Amino acid sequence: MATDYYAVLGVQRDASQDEIKKAFRRLARELHPDVNPDPKTQERFKEINTAYEVLSDPQKKQVYDLGGDPASGAGGGAGGFGAGFGNFSDIMDAFFGTASQRGPRSRTRRGQDAMIRLDIELDEAAFGTTKDIQVDTAVVCGTCSGEGAAPGTSAQTCDMCRGRGEVSQVTRSFLGQVMTSRPCPQCQGFGTVVPTPCPECAGDGRVRSRRSLTVKIPAGVDNGTRIQLAGEGEVGPGGGPAGDLYVEIHENPHPTFQRRGDDLHCTVTIPMTAASLGTKVPLETLDGMEEIDIRPGTQSGQSVPLHERGITHLRGGGRGQLIVHVEVTTPTKLEPEQEELLRRLAKLRGEERPTGTFQPGQQGLFSRLKDAFNGR
């Protein structure tokens, strides 16, 4: 086997379910990301979650003890019947629909993953930040510690299936007598019943609660980026391992800048006199106030790039650009003196009666394809 799940939890191979559960809870308290934020510790936390998920489920534990690894999804070839069947019972199930559980189901199961949306500003996406969030998820019931039974009581072995979690029935067919198994209707396949459920969680072993978490947002995130917080999702039934929490980033629109990838774009509007003579335009960037140098003769539609003033690259160093697009305006109404000055300027430049310069229009895609096929 690739992984010894018994060694991961630090228990013997003949350990009882109670010993396995106690070992998992002890390690979970020591290695939880809230207690040990070290990345290596988080990997170890995932390992004990996987080991407990396998060893706490009698069916998965049986496959694992036979040489398979249920956590890998391959089945390990237990029993030698190939990837589709774990043992002879699986083959009988496939042909006769017996649906045998091969032992009681575990009341302790892994919880579901959860996801929340987090709104951030453009500068927070550019440089990274830390956010405090409120999460409503299922947590371990504090009254019964995930057991599901009222304080002072415990689960009892089901008297209908005697703890097997399934009941068998012999029927006759053209093949002879066939034994079929079904989940026990009294204990729903768990092998135990809870005579007195916990009044706080109604026997589920978990309750909903609001928690506060601190999320580190890396520089360079964009709309739709998801940040995974291992073990911060829903606690499973019976106080089982928690799923993961995903924080989906939503970037609020900025009044000045538009983001395209890691580049920022904005437009500055200047009069034609400033475009002709050149000027400097103040602009509040993400890094503070800067002056944009508009060179003499700048045309409408031209742009001025500012390097390393955009968004930090999420993977790798450096930042994108801030690209300032220039829009030149022409006055629509002139005072007599202003009109006279412009006429004198036009006369000095020989532009009193400009003929203009015409160029062919841009061809569309289909026109260019047509010309290519016709050999033009």
Question: 201 among the known binding-site residues?
Answer: yes
Alpha-carbon span 189 to 309, nearest angstrom: 62
At 13, give phi and psi (nearest 5°).
-70, -20
Whether 89 and 48 have beta carbons less than 8 Å apart is answered as no
DSSP 250-298: EEPPPSS-EEETTEEEEEEEEEHHHHHH-EEEEEEETTEEEEEEE-TTP
CA-nearest of 149, 153, 139, 194 to 28 is 139
Long-range contacts of the stretch 161-168 (C-beta < 8 A, 24+): 161/104, 161/186, 161/187, 161/191, 163/104, 163/191, 163/192, 164/103, 164/104, 164/191, 165/58, 165/101, 165/103, 165/104, 165/105, 165/189, 165/190, 165/191, 166/100, 166/101, 166/103, 166/104
Whether 324 and 351 have beta carbons less than 8 Å apart is answered as no
DSSP 38: -
Residue 120 belongs to what H/E stretch? strand 114-120
189: left (phi over 0), alpha (psi -120 to 50) or beta: left
Question: 158 among the known binding-site residues?
Answer: yes
Provide the β-strand partners of residue 168.
181
Tell me the CB-side half-sphere exposure of residue 80, using CA atoms within 13 A: 0
Q: How would you class 332 by CB atoms within 10 Å of its CB: exposed for 0-12, middle for 13-18, buried for 19 or more?
A: exposed
Question: 266 among the known binding-site residues?
Answer: no
Tell me the CB-side half-sphere exposure of residue 89, using CA atoms within 13 A: 15
Which residues are annotated as part of the binding site? 141, 144, 158, 161, 184, 187, 198, 201
Which residues are annotated as part of the binding site for Zn(2+)? 141, 144, 158, 161, 184, 187, 198, 201
